[in-house]
Amino acid sequence: MSETLTIAGRELTSRLLLGTGGFTRLQTLGDAIDASRAELVTVAMRRLDPSAEGSVLDVIADKGVQVLPNTAGCFTARDAVRTAKLAREALGTDWVKLEVIGDERTLLPDAPELLAAAEELVDDGFVVLPYTNDDPVLARRLEDVGCAAVMPLGSPIGSGMGIANPANLTLIVEQAGVPVILDAGVGTASDAALAMELGCDAVLCASAISRALDPVAMARAIALGVEAGVLARGAGRIERRTHARPSSPLAGMPEFAE
């Protein structure tokens, strides 16, 4: 794996993307951006509240990171496309983390709507990073319509359940011709490390960091988890065995009298 991650021609040195949801203070968000070393930071698009003090955009500008708007909260392709266009107009970026949700309780993606929205946005010139199920066929279809990356979930958003189906994630990684970014489900640093060990190109975290007892420390821990996973993947892990394989020589054992 190369030192850098390239998405749609843009080179990133960090393989950790940070979601800004859930931070209770903007100061903590800023510190977590520093600690995570993330270069891509997500935001949601919502109605303007003129009375709101401070803005996530001020923090993002201050830290010099790239904003990645999402379409969170959209349940149809139509609404997601409109939200992406509003984000492009508001933020001057044609990058979008595409979310089209099919179920309120699990927040799992709606596959047909997601694919339709992805195709329409790609045709309109967007760099589309779709949040998708851990379904290798859907991931391939999203790549086929021109998505710049695929972002399979590990487990439901905010659940902290880690990678529920490592086998599917491995299948997605094996076939993908675009970066695979694990999105959703990370609960702690070891989940992020596992994602990278399985061959993901990056990890996106929000709740795992923002809702940790110490978000800044967790941001650093998960960044190190990502780094450890990359190193471990490159180092080539040993095969799993059913039985033990001694690591000390069998020959030359001393004999002890009864």
Partner 1 sequence: MIFVNGKPHDMPDHATISELLAGLSIDPEAPGIAVAVDSEIASRGAWASHQVHDGAHVEIVTATQGG
Verify binding: residue 123, partner 1, rule CB under 8 A. no
Could you tell me which stretch among 3-11, 30-38, 79-87, 221-229 binds partner 1 (CB under 8 A)?
79-87
What span, in angstroms and rounded, lies between the C-alpha atoms of 159 and 175? 27
Interacting residue with partner 1 among 117, 128, 147, 206 (CB under 8 A): 206
Contact in structure between 83 and 74 (CB atoms under 8 Å): yes
Verify binding: residue 69, partner 1, rule CB under 8 A. yes
- Please count the CA atoms within 13 angstroms of the CA of 233 that sit on its side-chain side: 21
Q: Count Cβ atoms below 10 Å from residue 219 Cβ, excluding itself.
A: 27
The alpha carbons of the chain give a radius of gyration, in whole angstroms, of 20
3-state SS, residue 11: strand
Could you tell me which stretch among 66-74, 117-125, 217-225, 227-235 binds partner 1 (CB under 8 A)?
66-74
Contact in structure between 234 and 1 (CB atoms under 8 Å): yes
Residue type at 77?
A: A
DSSP state of 70: B
Verify binding: residue 29, partner 1, rule CB under 8 A. yes
Contact in structure between 100 and 77 (CB atoms under 8 Å): yes
Interacting residue with partner 1 among 38, 87, 196, 203 (CB under 8 A): 87
Could you tell me which stretch among 48-56, 120-128, 135-143, 236-244 binds partner 1 (CB under 8 A)?
48-56
Active site residues: 97
Nearer to partner 1, 50 or 249 (CB): 50
Verify binding: residue 57, partner 1, rule CB under 8 A. yes
Residues near partner 1 (CB under 8 A) are: 19-23, 29, 42-48, 50, 55-57, 67, 69-70, 72, 82, 85-87, 89-91, 97, 99, 157, 206
